[in-house]
Amino acid sequence: MFLPGRRTVAYTGMLAAVFVVALAASWTPLGTRIDNYVYDSIFQLYRAKPWQTESIVLAIDEHSLSEFGGRLGLRHALADALQRIAAASPKAVAVDAILADSNDAKSDDALESALRATPHVILACDLLPDESGWDDPLPRFRRWVAATGHVHLDLDKDGVGRAVPLEKASGHDRRWALALEAYRVSRNASTLETPRDLEVGGVLIPATKDDARLLRIRYVPPEGRIPSISLKQLHDNPTLAQRFAGKVVFAGVTAQTETKDRWLTPYSPIPLAGVEIHANLFETLAQRQFLTTEPALTVVAFGILLAAAAGMTFRFLSGWRAYGVALGIIAVAHSVPYAAFTRNIVFPFSPGVSTAWLSVIAAAAWQHLYVRRRMVKSEAERDRYQHAMHFVTHEMRTPLTAIQGSSELMSRYALTDEKRKQVAQLINSESKRLARMIEMFLNVERLSAGEMELKKDSFSVRDVMTGCMERVAPLAERKKISITMEPLGDAVLTGDRELLEYAFYNLLTNAIKYSPSKTAVTVSGGRDGENCQISVEDQGIGIEQKEVRKIFQKFYRTRKAEQSGEAGTGIGLSIVEQIVLQHGGKIEVTSAPGKGSCFTLKLPVGQAVESKPLSAN
């Protein structure tokens, strides 16, 4: 069975976290703003082909208002215009004006008779501000019309009208949008509904119940604007009425001074009058140019795909190839919303793009750090190899040269018996030294690979330490260093006595080696709960803080130690550390340059030990 490595799991986890962050960021208000901005830009970039519009606006503009005496004269003028249009038989007439109050009797009468004479009229209604009911046209107007429709837009926070809820309800009193009603009336059909869509005259409108039947408006491109004739123009030139023949008319105020009902659209920073927006919604329906939003699940799946692609790119490729592919991934993330739009699908921009950018940056940084770490590690390994070579060439060479020279001496010259004996002894002792060196070198390798059998003796710490102190006494005497042992108690350790003895001995010799003469070395310790603690403290040259961790590396010697003139190989402490670790313990060092060092071993008391491989350092 394939089991991913720790590194792969961590890398995947990091990418997953990045993906979640990117997704969450795209759902913030800023993400929504970016999505809207991009939506508008695509709208402008991708111009749908202009089409033959089916609607026409009967505009109540500034000129008409001043001509007919402002708002007060409006009903009369509208009645007049309706009468003229009716003669041209439009398919439907939607009036975007709330006719809920009575004006003067004369103009109301005129409007009523115009409505009676005009077939297929739809009047506007408005939800009351507290949503407790509908602001409906007066019953005398309403009785002559085919339907009433609401005129609410769904404005985004940036004030741009991108969609209209086709359905609006106050309690159980539900109304369809003015444009939808105009469409239905013009098709002489009825509206059928399912949770997923509406059907009018065999046309499915993708507006789900869950989403208040929100429908995006496919605005008519600026170059193919919906034609507009004002009340005044129609009044001045009655033949213009012919332009309304067979059309769906949207009548309403367009005068900038008279209405607050003007909104921004994705196309233009110049606000469009509400009535024109309703006409655009009608065109969306009539042209069946429905823009549907991609389901969230697909967007999430796309994001996962991008993050995975970015991850794999930097996992399996490197250098310019990786960056090239990464650029490709980012480009795909940028272009998918546009490509989707050309297929009438709105694909949110920010989830994909933020995922692509963040995961590419994160994956690149991760792999960069990983490669760097590997480089640093391999450099350290090369260093250690060089040290090892140094050890072999310098340290081992001395006994080898002695052996070589002595054996040559013996074979070339006739030596006296005594001289012969001397030379043979030298060869013997040097070869033993060489063997010890090789043995030590191999031991540390075997120890760190867990290949060395550890014995399980039980012994008193005090006894072993006392033995070690006796062995180092001559060394200490030479430098006039006093060694004192504080009472160690009677802790008994279970483990490899010989190896632990080596460890204690090494700490003691180091303490003496790296201390000036006439100083003191103190051994202390005892049982501390489950552990036995042994400390060797000196008043020697000390170790720089940054070097403390390094002294356990094979062949590492501090600069101070090198300068001290004391011979050494830098291998002893790495063996000590392996021994302690194999016994389930640890080694700690505190040191201050020029003041001294204290090495402390902490070993579990009486615990059975087993040899296990440890990572070599």
Residues forming the site for ligand ADP (CB under 6 A): 506, 510-511, 514, 538, 540-543, 551, 557-558, 561, 568-573, 597
- Cβ 576 to ligand ADP shortest distance, Å: 7
- Compare residues 421 and 559 and give the one whose CB is closer to ligand ADP: 559
CB 428 to ligand ADP: min, Å: 24
Q: How far apart are CA 602 and CA 501, in angstroms?
A: 14
Q: What is the CA radius of gyration of the chain?
A: 46
* Nearer of residues 259 and 617 to ligand ADP, judged by Cβ: 617
Task: Give yes or no for a contact between 263 and 161, defined as CB atoms under 8 angstroms apart.
Answer: yes
Distance in Å, CB of 514 to ligand ADP, minimum = 3
Q: Which two tokens stand for residue 381?
A: 């390994």
For residue 141, give both structure tokens: 């107007």
Pick between residue 55 and residue 533 the one whose CB is nearest to ligand ADP.
533
For the bound state, the minimum distance from the C-beta of residue 359 to ligand ADP, rounded and expressed in Å, comes to: 45
Nearer to ligand ADP, 16 or 589 (CB): 589
Task: Give CA separation, 289 vs 203, 294, 531, in Å.
Answer: 11, 16, 80
| Residues 141, 116 contacting (CB under 8 angstroms) | no
- DSSP letter at 144? T
Say whether 284 sits in a helix, a strand or coil: helix
Q: C-beta of 524: minimal distance to ligand ADP in Å? A: 15
Nearest to 18 by CA among 374, 373, 366: 366
How far apart CA 475 and CA 471 sit, in angstroms, is 8
CB of 583 to ligand ADP, least distance (A): 18
- List Cβ neighbours of 98 (8 Å cut-off, separation of 6 or more): 124, 125, 126, 135, 137
Q: CB nearest ligand ADP: which residue? A: 568
Q: How far is the CB of 578 from ligand ADP (least distance, A)?
A: 11
Q: CB-based burial of residue 463 (10 Å sphere; 0-12 exposed, 13-18 middle, 19+ buried)?
A: middle
CB of 513 to ligand ADP, least distance (A): 6
Nearer to ligand ADP, 348 or 572 (CB): 572
CB-wise, 118 or 510, nearer to ligand ADP? 510
The strand pairing partners of 292, in sequence order, are 345
Tell me the CA distances in angstroms from 332 to 39, 254, 307, 363, 538, one per residue in order. 17, 42, 12, 17, 66
312 or 485, CB closer to ligand ADP?
Answer: 485
Whose Cβ is closer to ligand ADP: residue 309's or residue 561's?
A: 561
